[in-house]
Amino acid sequence: IMAIVVGCQSKEQNQSTEVGQISISEIPLEKPMDAEIKHFDLVAKKETWNIKGTSFEAWTYNGTIPGEEIRVLEGDWVKVNLKNELDEPVTIHWHGMVLPNVMDGVAGITQNAVQPGDTFSYQFNALEPGTYWYHSHQNAFEQIDRGLYGALIVEPKEKSYDKDYVLMLDEWTIGENNRGMMNMMGDGGTPGEMDSQMLYQTFSVNGKSAPNIKPINVNFGETVRLRIINAGYQKHVLYLNDHPYRVAAIDGKDLANATLTSDVLMVAPGERIDLEFTENKKKDWYIDSPNAVKESEDIQIPVNISGIEEKSDASYRDEQNLIMIDMTNQGNMNPIIDNIIQKPDVEYTMDLSAGMGMMQRGMSYTINGETFPDTEPIQVKKGDLVKVTINNNSMLDHPMHLHGHYFQVISKNGLSLVNPLVKDLINIEPHEQYEILFIADNPGDWLFHCHDLLHATGGMVTAVKYN
């Protein structure tokens, strides 16, 4: 619809305003004087891609899966020119980034989709360092599935690590029947016949399966940050084969005092988990997935160590002792709301269900019995403290993602969480209940939806609307 004008904004316009006890900082609409400009060109186009010996036509940003990495420094002004060379409209959504509503990239909500042959210029201030990602938000279920996604990394000015690696996880339907890609929505398949958990047979890390996954190359003694991003619609489980690590950040936000663990890690669709480990084992090893046979065959990320003599390629695993790390015990460095005693201005209860037959084809995935766009929006005013209670009444996981804001997870299954966790996506397992709080500090219309995009396509979407 519109492009924002780049000019210079003085510091004074960018100060905080106080609303009750909550301080709200303004999201910069224009380039702050001292911000450096980082420019990227992304072309949405078809490309032949090969996973496990099978070639297929992928949809990509700049010809690769994941698309070209966007890596900037905290404080940078990011400009991305999108050119659409596909036959269908696309957008780019900056998942996890708090930015002005017009830059959010949601077709039909914050902009018109970019038509074939057209261009669109996105720009925003990358204020908060962290792991983010970008993906199309037009026909997203199919477009992300075909490869329209990439990593967006905002490096901190001061680093706690020597090297960092991005691991983007995804899953595919290439294989024996060689459908190339799933196209369940358009080619006669019925989306509701099965859940997305059952659709895929091939798993990838940065667009490749073992043995073609690029290794992580580490020098003995180095601290490595792994930025794990789940771009798929299934949760993925990773195991570092007994190497001690600490969870450094979740959804782009650094954690306070995460202790060392060697537990198994679960990453929900759309979620980001950063971890750090210091390489001090005298061997080469790999990160893999103990989740399911197929997944552990495909997801094997070699970690190659140099600067040490003795090597072996053995990997070991004590299947008996695999413990899943409890994310809700990990507290953030900077909670967004210190004083939770304050009464929320808005309370909204979200009951998530899945059922047959409400949509034209197959399953529907509902919020309070409705499918988008008939779901009731969360109506807020700027400055409101908003509490959302999410109940999962279905037998499936629902990774719920809020655009344009971070929220604080305050309780799980009725128990308050001592260590506040600040996220933009929370995976709700069957029959779980979470309460979350956020400050309405970023005016516009913002989606709040399930990031299993089969569910979102089937209706599990609502919006936060500012009055």
Smallest gap from Cβ 110 to ligand C2O, in A, equals: 11
In the shown chain, the binding pattern of residues 237 to 276 toward ligand C2O, with x for contact by CB under 6 A and - for none, equals ---------------------------------x------
Measured between alpha carbons, how far is 134 from 151 in angstroms, rounded to an integer? 6
Residue 455 contacts which entry, Cu ion, ligand C2O, none (Cβ below 5-8 A, type-dependent): Cu ion
> In the complex with Cu ion, which residue's Cβ is closer, 164 or 452?
452
Within residues 38-57, the interface with ligand C2O by CB under 6 A covers none
Which part of the chain contacts ligand C2O (CB under 6 A), choosing from 25-33, 175-183, 242-250, 447-455? Answer: 447-455
409 contact partners, CB below 8 Å, separation of at least 6: 328, 417, 420, 421, 422, 423, 426, 434, 435, 436
Angle formed at CA 312 by CA 309 and CA 315, multiple of 5 degrees: 140
281 contact partners, CB below 8 Å, separation of at least 6: 243, 305
Residue 423 contacts which entry, ligand C2O, Cu ion, none (Cβ below 5-8 A, type-dependent): none
Smallest gap from Cβ 233 to ligand C2O, in A, equals: 11
> In the complex with ligand C2O, which residue's Cβ is closer, 129 or 404?
404
Measured between alpha carbons, how far is 125 from 4 in angstroms, rounded to an integer? 12
- Which amino acid is residue 446, in one-letter code? W
> In the complex with Cu ion, which residue's Cβ is closer, 98 or 450?
450
193 contact partners, CB below 8 Å, separation of at least 6: 362
Residue 401 contacts which entry, Cu ion, ligand C2O, none (Cβ below 5-8 A, type-dependent): ligand C2O
Structure tokens at 442: 């970023």
Smallest gap from Cβ 455 to Cu ion, in A, equals: 3
Q: Which of 93, 227, 253, 455 binds ligand C2O (CB under 6 A)?
A: 93
How far does Cα 27 stand from its chain's mean position?
21
Structure tokens at 359: 């949509």
359 contact partners, CB below 8 Å, separation of at least 6: 192, 371, 458, 459
The residue ranges that bind Cu ion (CB under 5 A) are: 398, 450, 452, 455
Residue 423 binds to ligand C2O (criterion: CB under 6 A): no
Q: Which of 253, 403, 423, 455 binds ligand C2O (CB under 6 A)?
A: 403
Residue 137 contacts which entry, Cu ion, ligand C2O, none (Cβ below 5-8 A, type-dependent): ligand C2O
| Pair 300, 210: CB distance under 8 Å | yes
Q: Which of 35, 130, 135, 145 binds ligand C2O (CB under 6 A)?
A: 135
Candidates 462, 457, 410, 414; CA nearest to 437 is 410
Smallest gap from Cβ 427 to Cu ion, in A, equals: 9
Measured between alpha carbons, how far is 246 from 281 in angstroms, rounded to an integer? 16
Which sign does the torsion angle of CA 104, 109, 112, 113 carry? positive
Candidates 207, 115, 208, 206; CA nearest to 166 is 206
* CA-atom Rg of the chain in angstroms: 22
Within residues 148-177, the interface with ligand C2O by CB under 6 A covers none
**What is the DSSP annotation of 286-350?**
EEE--S-HHHHHH-EEEEEEES-S---------GGG--B--GGGPPBSS-S-S-TTSPPSEEEEE
Measured between alpha carbons, how far is 289 from 237 in angstroms, rounded to an integer? 5
Residue 447 binds to ligand C2O (criterion: CB under 6 A): yes
Q: Which residue is nearest to ligand C2O (CB)?
A: 95
Smallest gap from Cβ 96 to ligand C2O, in A, equals: 8
> In the complex with ligand C2O, which residue's Cβ is closer, 164 or 271?
271
> In the complex with ligand C2O, which residue's Cβ is closer, 31 or 455?
455
Peptide bond into 211 cis (omega under 30): yes
> In the complex with Cu ion, which residue's Cβ is closer, 145 or 276?
145
> In the complex with ligand C2O, which residue's Cβ is closer, 145 or 279?
145
Residue 225 contacts which entry, Cu ion, ligand C2O, none (Cβ below 5-8 A, type-dependent): none
Smallest gap from Cβ 207 to Cu ion, in A, equals: 25
Within residues 94-123, the interface with ligand C2O by CB under 6 A covers 95
> In the complex with ligand C2O, which residue's Cβ is closer, 132 or 245?
132
63 contact partners, CB below 8 Å, separation of at least 6: 43, 45, 47
Which part of the chain contacts ligand C2O (CB under 6 A), choosing from 25-33, 40-48, 341-349, 444-452? Answer: 444-452
Q: Which of 31, 137, 225, 387 binds ligand C2O (CB under 6 A)?
A: 137
Residue 205 contacts which entry, Cu ion, ligand C2O, none (Cβ below 5-8 A, type-dependent): none
According to DSSP, the residues that pair with 351 across neighbouring strands are 391
> In the complex with ligand C2O, which residue's Cβ is closer, 94 or 434?
94
Candidates 131, 196, 169; CA nearest to 268 is 169
Residues making contact with ligand C2O (CB under 6 A): 93, 95, 135, 137, 270, 401, 403, 447, 449, 451
